[in-house]
Amino acid sequence: MVKKSIIGIIVLLVLLLAFLGLYAIGSPEVVVENQSSQNVIEVIVKLPSNRIVFGSISPKSKSTIFYSWTQAEGMYEYQVSFADGLSQTGKCGYVKHHEVGKRLTLFVQADLTVMCHESSKV
């Protein structure tokens, strides 16, 4: 009886981990990679249906936030604020409704310009 309970718990844990893995792969995300030598204080990415706010991102590091599949269509808009008070704004990429595995990466370059790259995780 105890052995069956342990096997049942293990099966449930494996299923839960599989679900979480599929969720992480399928959920659209925005990645900010700070390739500069300055601290990024805040990044705001506006999607047609909501917005994503990143806190501080250290030099030579990156941060990822997942967002909802249910989006209206439109462009990504971003604002990157630096420790010295400078900020960069722009638009890039395109959001579509129910994009599975979508990744938008914002690269903060050494000269503090921002480059965008859209890709798929699947």
The predicted pLDDT at position 17 comes to 47
Give residue-wise pLDDT tens across range 23-82.
Answer: 556 799 999 999 999 999 999 999 998 999 999 999 999 999 999 888 899 999 999 999
In the prediction, which pLDDT does 58 show?
97
Rounded CA gap, 109 and 21, in Å? Answer: 31
Q: What is the mean pLDDT of the chain?
A: 87
Quick one: pLDDT band at residue 8, thresholds 50, 70, 90?
A: low
pTM, two decimals, is 0.81
Q: What is the mean pLDDT of residues 79-99?
A: 93
Residue 98 is predicted with a pLDDT of 83
Task: Please name the residues in contact with 69: beta carbons below 8 A apart, sequence gap of 6 or more.
Answer: 27, 28, 97, 98, 99, 100
The domain spans of the chain are: 2-120
| Residue 5: other Cβ atoms inside 10 A | 9
The CATH code belonging to domain 2-120 is: 2.60.40.2890
